[in-house]
Amino acid sequence: MFDLDGTLLNVDIDYFLEQYIRALASRLAHKMPPEKFARQLMGSSMAMIQNTDPAKTNQQKFIEDFFGKTGLSVEETMPIFDDFYANDFPRLKHHARTDPNARRVVEAAVKKGYEVVLATNPVFPMSAIRERMRWAGVDDFDYRLVTAYEEMHFCKPYLQYYTEILNRIGRRSEECLMVGNDVDEDLPVARLGMKTYLVRDCLLNRNNVAYSAHAEGKLADLAEFVESGKLDEM
């Protein structure tokens, strides 16, 4: 299971999110002051992440909170969002960097016969995830699952997010490896008995906590780890 932002895609996620929110806010500026929009987008994203109601998708949770609080029309506003992701979002590419080791590691895993899951936090629509996968150079592999907000019912760091993946792919946590760069979001899955690999290129440890991963290294080290067969022995 591969995280995307800061793992396969070399990006400073806080700076990227700032640019993304600014760009989206400007598209809605005729309906809402950009600063207010930015605050509400972040607030509703947080509400979505913290809402663990299994009966609603992340998208439904976001829509409920955002449109409930802004009073904007869903019918008028959602097409603007969709247009933004189709036409403006791709232009944010220059805030991220392609690391050839991303393609190298996913390719190695596929060649070794592993099923691969793109386990990015499902706070984005599939179109925005596929776009960032293109930036990382890893969009054309046959993923068992790509976790997008239209389909998933939970977010990282909640363990239900990982349980939902396991249920959907029919695997036990002991059979899987989670690869990620975020101590708070990608490592807690170890509590389910899953192994973890911490990718250090864009390491995030926001609360400076003591952590332990089963293995860690740069993305290049991980590629070597998979290619050399060390993953098979893990």
Residues forming contacts to Mg ion in the complex (CB under 5 A) are 3, 5-6, 181-182
Nearer to Mg ion, 77 or 147 (CB): 147
Nearer to Mg ion, 5 or 99 (CB): 5
**CA pair distance 92, 128, nearest whole angstrom:** 11
Q: How far is the CB of 6 from Mg ion (least distance, A)?
A: 4
Report the DSSP beta bridge partners of residue 178. 196
Q: How far is the CB of 32 from Mg ion (least distance, A)?
A: 29
Tokens 């054309």 belong to: 140
Contact 226, 112 (CB under 8 A): yes
Q: How far is the CB of 199 from Mg ion (least distance, A)?
A: 9
Tokens 């690869």 belong to: 179
**CA pair distance 34, 32, nearest whole angstrom:** 6
Number of continuous H segments (helices) and E segments (strands) in the chain: 10, 7
Q: How far is the CB of 96 from Mg ion (least distance, A)?
A: 12
Identity at 137, one-letter amino acid code: G
Q: How far is the CB of 124 from Mg ion (least distance, A)?
A: 12
Nearer to Mg ion, 6 or 137 (CB): 6
What 3-state DSSP class applies to 143?
coil
Nearer to Mg ion, 8 or 166 (CB): 8
Nearer to Mg ion, 65 or 201 (CB): 201
CB nearest Mg ion: which residue?
6
Contact 201, 219 (CB under 8 A): yes
β-pairing, 117-118 with 145-146? parallel
> What are the C-alpha distances in Å from 62 to residues 51, 68, 160?
9, 10, 18
Q: How far is the CB of 49 from Mg ion (least distance, A)?
A: 14
Burial (Cβ within 10 Å: 0-12, 13-18, ≥19) of residue 15: exposed
Nearer to Mg ion, 25 or 129 (CB): 129
